[in-house]
Structure 1
């Protein structure tokens, strides 16, 4: 029997095709990182993560950037609480793209910058029917994510923040429904007691009586409303007339004020005339002060004239005395004056003997 010899061309083609298929499978398979080194992160959740499984996607605004690799339970002895650390691996290229520095080979520099800006993780629902969850990463400033710390492995911790439903659930769980029900029961009992109390019945009767009095008062006011309305109308008419008079007086006062402003205008004729009169009075006052000065010529002339008038008056008085003693002087002339008689000595009086 004659044996066939293997064709090297077929063998080579088969090997190349196998390698191509293997490479295509490695590239197409999702959730596997074959050509780059993923970055490991950890996220601590305080509530239930039921529905979150290994291989669940980690997305940033709908774009898948990694996968969940492990979900465990951690007990804290100090606070006596439980936390759920979720380990995930992120694609390095995707994280570098989020930071905006694609040329950076180490994403350890990109994650802290994103966390500083507000990067946090939340649990999202993939399907309402199956209840499967995924990790949703986004930049959130309100509420800001919280870091737990205490992870001993090599992973970067990403803070977590509760969803709106989880926050509402936490608030509802913190509400003491039993106490609220007890308070409502007490309020209902107090309301029943108040309604059945005789004081309330008496108050209702008093209120009805007060309402009757109010109706009577309203009827009386309605009867008297006509005269009061007419009186008010006449009063308003009087007020209107008085307002017109006041307005007219105000107009006159305004015109008088305008005229006064015109008269008191510094550049007006009245002020100029007053200024001129004041200047003339000042000049006359200066002239009078100069005339009344003790060293002035007017006062010296007046003093000389007064002395001459005094001398003339003395001469007239002497002439009058002479004519009175010798009237014949008008015809015969004045006689020479007789010498005055010598005085007679007078002996001193003697003192009486004692």
Structure 2
């Protein structure tokens, strides 16, 4: 009986030591709070293995537990579900809040997204980085994931890789080859035509130099003629100014005489207006004179009529 007790105690001590070893040196922590989630990637996941770190902005918050492949024969697409475990005990809320961390769906609703990044270029290992990106639409896969899922997004390296993959490299190579062929043909054509072109440019340059010399000579001659013309114009301007001054004085005299004549004409018109006025004495005398002249003219017409009827009146006169 004592022997069995010792064996049992030894076995129990071994189990306790084994559990302590797992707790202290392994990944088994039965008393820590853990969050489990799945991320579904569609691209290549090279370098991502079990135990790869899960980080949030560079700080490790968990590890990768499982990497698998899901193939859909209908759409002929392959998906890579990655199961992760996060330990949020080291994450503290601000302002001293005592409430627990939000759940995975709540964090996803707030914009939590995951991406696969290359951890080391030397070893080629990868890691999963978590961050908030609410501008990225949340694409979930309920047909592949039964628990909580964190939507994924393409990393910068994956975007660059996809861009390079989608580049029409063959077409670019063909275009580059055609461009080089065109440049080679142009170079050969220039080698054949450049000497003649250089000679033509040299002849054109000599002709242009001669033309410039002739132009300079002509310009100098024109400058001398233009100076002579300008001096003549200056003399003509001065003579015209002198004549205008003399004619101005004459015009002033003529205008003065014209003003005097106009004054006399105005006076004459005023006198004539006085004469022709209905109330003026001169007009009354003129009217009386005109009546006397009219009467004399009537008497002369009567006498002329009588003489026309009896010419002897010129000799005998009228008898009483």
Which interval holds the TM-score relative to the shorter structure? Answer: 0.5 to 0.7
Q: Which residue of 1 aligns with 2:237?
A: none
TM-score (normalizing by structure 1): 0.49
Q: Distance in 2 between matches of 1:167 and 1:38?
A: 32
- SS of the aligned residue for 2:279 comes to helix
Quick one: which of 74, 78, 83 aligns to 1:82? 78
- SS of the aligned residue for 2:110 comes to helix
Label 1:314 to 1:32 Cα distance change in 2 as closer, same or farther (>3 A): farther
TM-score (normalizing by structure 2): 0.53
Q: Distance in 1 between matches of 2:90 and 2:228?
A: 88
- Encode CA deviations 1:33-63: one digit per residue, 9 max, x unaligned: 6455433322222233233222322111221
Quick one: which of 118, 123, 127 aligns to 1:124? 118
Label 1:56 to 1:211 Cα distance change in 2 as closer, same or farther (>3 A): closer
Matched positions, count: 239
Greater relative contact order (Cα 8 A, min sep 6): structure 1 or 2?
A: 2
- SS of the aligned residue for 1:47 comes to coil
Superposition pairs of residues 1-354 of structure 1, within 5 angstroms: 34-35=30-31, 37-93=33-89, 97=93, 102-108=97-103, 109-115=106-112, 119-125=113-119, 128-129=122-123, 131-139=124-132, 144=136, 147-150=139-142, 151-164=144-157, 166-175=158-167, 208-232=195-219, 301=279, 306=283, 309-311=286-288, 313-315=290-292, 317-318=294-295
Label 1:149 to 1:307 Cα distance change in 2 as closer, same or farther (>3 A): farther
- SS of the aligned residue for 1:121 comes to strand
Query: Contact (CA 8 Å) 1:41, 1:158: kept in 2 or not?
Result: no
Structure with greater helix percent = 2
Query: Contact (CA 8 Å) 2:38, 2:145: kept in 1 or not?
Result: no
Q: Distance in 1 between matches of 2:224 and 2:37?
A: 89
Label 1:30 to 1:217 Cα distance change in 2 as closer, same or farther (>3 A): same
RMSD: 5.1
Q: Distance in 2 between matches of 1:159 and 1:29?
A: 32
Q: Distance in 2 between matches of 1:102 and 1:39?
A: 20
Label 1:114 to 1:223 Cα distance change in 2 as closer, same or farther (>3 A): same
